[in-house]
Each structure stands twice: as C-alpha cells, then as structure tokens.
Amino acid sequence: MAKDRVYIFDTTLRDGEQVPGCQLNTIEKIEIAKALEDLGVDVIEAGFPISSPGDFNSVVEISKAVTEPVICALTRAVKKDIEVAAESLKFAKRPRIHTGIGTSYYHIYHKLNSNPEEIIKRGAEAVAYAKSFVEDVEFYAEDAGRAENKYLAQVVEAMINAGATVINIPDTTGYTLPDEYGKKIKYLVDHVPNIDKAILSTHCHNDLGMATANTMSGVINGARQVEVTINGIGERAGNTSLEEIAMIMKSRKHLNLTSNINSKKIYKTSRLVSTLMRMPVQPNKAIVGRNAFAHSSGIHQDGVLKRRENYEIINPKSVGINESSILLTARSGRAALKHRLGNLGYTFSKAGLDSIYDEFLKLADSKKEIIDEDLKMLAGASARDIKRNLHLDQLQVVCGKGTVPVATVSLVWEGDCYTATSEGNGPVDAAINAVKSILKKKVRIEEFLIQAITRGSDDMGKVHMQLEHKSVVYYGFSASTDIITASVEAFIDAMSQIV
C-alpha cells in the first residue's frame, strides 16, 4: 500500500529565530535555508516580513537563493502585513502567505478585544486579501489548542471558503494532551464540510514536553502537514522538532507515513543550526544530542556490541552519525574495552586484557570518561612491558634556578646498556638530547603534551608525544608521577618504533 505523504513545513527561520539570542543575519539565514532545501523540507517559513527590514530582506534573499521548497511569509490578519509579505515574496518560485488570527477565548476577548463572529470576518478577509497576491494561502487559527472545537470548525470552514489551501491548528501555548489534540484534528476532519479542499497542519509548542506526541497524534488523526524546527528550537520551550517527526515516520513503518526528508542530512543540519544560532543541543536530545547514540553501562555496551539493535532503534548512520559511541567509564565491561582497543589497532590475549582492564578501572575511577588517548597510554604501557626493544633504565637530572640543566640517561637497547650525558635548556630537553646522542636518529618533535590525569600535585602526569622521522609520524605515550621521566619515556616509546 502506498504510504501517505506528510509535508514538512520548517519554521526554524521564523518561530525558531524568535528565541532570544538566536537571531541570525541574512547570510546565515540563507545558509540554513539552503541546508533545509538539501534536507528535503517542503516549505520554509522564511520570516515575518512586516516585523523588521532585516526580516523582509531575509525573505527576499531566501526566495532568490532557494528553488525547490515553497517559501512562506508570516503575517497577522492585517492588510499592511499581507502587502509587505507579498512584496517580500516577489522572487519566490512558489510563494505562500501564512496569515491568521487568535481563536481561543483568551485571544478573542483578552488579546483582540473582539468577539467570535468578528474574528471569522477578519480572518476570512485576510485570507481573501492574501489570495489576491498568491495562490497558496495558509491560515493559522492561533491558540487553536485552547479553542472550542465547535467554533474552530466554523472558523476552518469559513477560511477554506475564503480560499485557504492549508489550515494550521496551532497549539500555541503547548497546553493540549496528545489525545485531546488528536481528537481536535479528527473533529475537524469529521465536521468541516469542505475539509477535503485543504490540508490540515499541526503546529505544536513544547511547554509541557508534548509537542512531538501532539504532532504525531494530529498526523495519525488526519493532519498532513507538520510545522517543525531543527533541534526543536522556538518560542519558550520550543516547537516540535523536525528530526523527531522525520525519524518517527521512518522507523514506525506501520504508520504508513512518509516524508521527503533525506534523513542522512539530519545531523549535519542540526549542527549547522546549533552553531549559527549559538544554541547548544542538550546532550540527551532525541536523534541529534551528543548522547543519543552513546552507550555507557556495561550491560548496554555488551548488548550493542553483540547486536546494535539490542539497544538501538535507529541506525545512527541513517541520520548521518558515523557510528554509535561506546563511552568508556568505570561502569564499562571488558567487551567494550576490547572493542575500543581493537578500533585503535591493539589486540590482547585474555590475560593481557585482564591486566589492562584492572589498570583501566583504576583510571576510570579517577576520570569521568576514558578517551582514546588514555587507552593508548594504557595499551602503550602494557605493550611496552611485553615487547619493547628499547627502554629507559635510569635517569638522573640536575636542574633548578641558576644551574645549567644536565641529564644522564641509561637505555637498554636490544639487551645492551648505553649511557650518555647531555645539557639542554631544561631537564626534558637535556634528557632527550642524551637519548638522541645514543640512538643517533634525526627526529623532530611535532607535538609534546603533558596533562595531569586528575588533580593534585601527587597525581600522574600523562605525556603524549609525536615525532616526525623521514616524513613519517610516530606516537609515544607514557604516564608517571614524575613528569620528566614520563616525558623521556614517551620520547623513547616513539623512538622504539623508529629504531
């Protein structure tokens, strides 16, 4: 059976941009509009042109830059708004004017100082006026979530008669429950005689955290357009997030719904919006949050490594994320450690893994998360113990204020012991000069990083070194409470791969 197409109306650049501190300039808006086009959205709400010259200009420029999606401009049910919106859309290949008025008791009496009949008249006049400029007119019944269904049905019928092709039923205050919102849409489908002449649209806000659930309930009950934003940004607690709706429709196949979204571009678009709007995505945000595909408990990690579907309902690749991440923490098991070491190119026998796991747990107890560099350090230490042909036997340094730093180094190299003494501009430089004088290899230090593993002056220091030799880069690691020793060992670790 053919799937039902749901149109994706993206309002990141209008409702999303209303978020304090998230304002964008025209260039940034064009970049986002192009990304939305690439993502496959059907409609881009590009702005509210009467609100400012900047918004007007953005709608003009987006209309020029984007060809595929419908470009929509928001207005109030006010003639001047509609004229300005029409003017801003003059370059749009497929223009839409989105006009509307409040329909709840609060809006009718306490915002607009009006009455229900007057609202219908003003709304219908606005729709008809918009229709004199563009064919495609959408009407929003503001605060429809709290409007009485019987009255809402009269409003919708009148707006369709006036020429509206899409009817938006906003839950402006994010008040409804999924069941209520779904019933509202169903009521309109069942009671508006001309409903087949328009598409019903959802526009849900997230004040009670139910925007996505309400939107899906609306769609299940007959809405065929959803108004959404990337990362769920928008007024107050935000709007329904595009990525959640797109992935619900893609992963819950029995709903028999489809959209034009190329889900592989979701993550990229999310990052772009977050960066340009300087609005971080919460780590546990569904689909695009940093932790959305991260597994940290040992049981989950083991399960995911056995088969991804054990703990993942979406393949991260399908939203453009390379792979799930297995976070290594003190709660991780051997399976996760082995997997990550394997990714880094290390393999260990069972006994080897047991010993590195003990070290790993000690380190994990003192750090929130073990990163690859820590693992290389742990694996490097273990590997060195097993198979190194070169190691530091003794190190003595003389340094301090008013003295020339001098180091004496003894190395064991393929079973033989070598000793040398050198000066340097500091104790590490002196010791490295001594090692170089023994090994006689021309190398250049490309990176030399000393980090405290935890805190406190008695802590381990971790040293990471990168050497370049004949255009090849070699990595060395070590850790010790003595950072001079750790630095020399990291250097020797890298050198051991060269000699």
Q: What does each C-alpha distance from 456 to 366, 428, 453, 461, 481 come to in angstroms?
A: 12, 21, 9, 10, 11
Told to check if 139 binds ligand KIV by CB under 6 A, we report: no
228 touches 241 (CB < 8 A): yes
Q: Helix H segments across 66-210?
A: 79-88, 105, 116-131, 149-162, 178-191
| DSSP of 342-400 | HHTT----HHHHHHHHHHHHHHHHHSS-B-HHHHHHHHHHHHHHHH-SEEEEEEEEE-S
Q: State whether residue 18 is helix, strand or coil.
A: helix
Residue whose CB is less far from ligand KIV, 176 or 478: 176
Q: Which of residues 5-34 bind ligand KIV (CB under 6 A)?
A: 15
DSSP designation for 279: -
Count of chain residues binding ligand KIV (CB under 6 A): 8
For 192, the 3-state DSSP assignment is coil
Binding site for Zn ion (CB under 5 A): 15
Smallest distance from the beta carbon of 203 to ligand KIV, in angstroms? 5
**465: part of which helix (H) or strand (E)?**
strand 461-469
CB–CB of 316/324 below 8 Å?
Answer: yes
Please choose which of ligand KIV, Zn ion, none residue 142 contacts, taking the beta carbon within 5 to 8 angstroms, the exact cut-off set by kind. Answer: ligand KIV
* Nearest approach, Cβ of residue 444 and Zn ion (Å): 58
Specify the stretch interacting with ligand KIV by CB under 6 A; choose among 126-134, 166-174, 182-190, 482-490.
Answer: 166-174
172 or 485: CB nearest ligand KIV: 172
Q: Which CB sits closer to ligand KIV, 168 or 433? A: 168
Q: Which of 140, 162, 164 is nearest to 152 (CA)?
A: 140
Under rule CB under 6 A, residue 157 binds ligand KIV: no
326 Rama sector, left if φ>0, alpha if ψ -120 to 50, beta otherwise: beta
> Does 138 engage in binding with ligand KIV (CB under 6 A)?
no
Query: Which residues, including other chains, have CB under 8 Å from residue 457's CB and lie 6 or more apart?
Result: none
Find which of ligand KIV, Zn ion, none residue 140 binds, CB within 5 to 8 Å per kind. Answer: ligand KIV
Q: Give the residue, chosen from 140, 151, 477, 491, that forms a contact with ligand KIV under the rule CB under 6 A.
A: 140
Question: What secondary structure letter does DSSP report for 229?
Answer: B
- The answer to whether 175 contacts ligand KIV (rule: CB under 6 A) is no
Give least dist CB 19 to ligand KIV, A: 12
| Residue span binding ligand KIV (CB under 6 A) among the ranges 168-176, 253-261, 339-347, 489-497 | 168-176
Lookup result for tokens 């180091």: 407
Cβ 235 to Zn ion, closest distance in Å? 6
If the CB atoms of residues 172 and 332 are measured against Zn ion, the closer one turns out to be 172
Q: Could you give the angle at the alpha carbon of 340 between the alpha carbons of 334 and 344, nearest 5°?
A: 135
Decide whether 120 or 406 has the Cβ nearer to ligand KIV: 120
Residue number, 82 or 460, with CB nearest to ligand KIV: 82
203 contributes a contact to ligand KIV by CB under 6 A: yes
CB of 244 to ligand KIV, least distance (A): 18
Amino acid at 128: A
Contacts with ligand KIV by CB under 6 A lie at: 15, 140, 142, 168, 170, 172, 203, 205
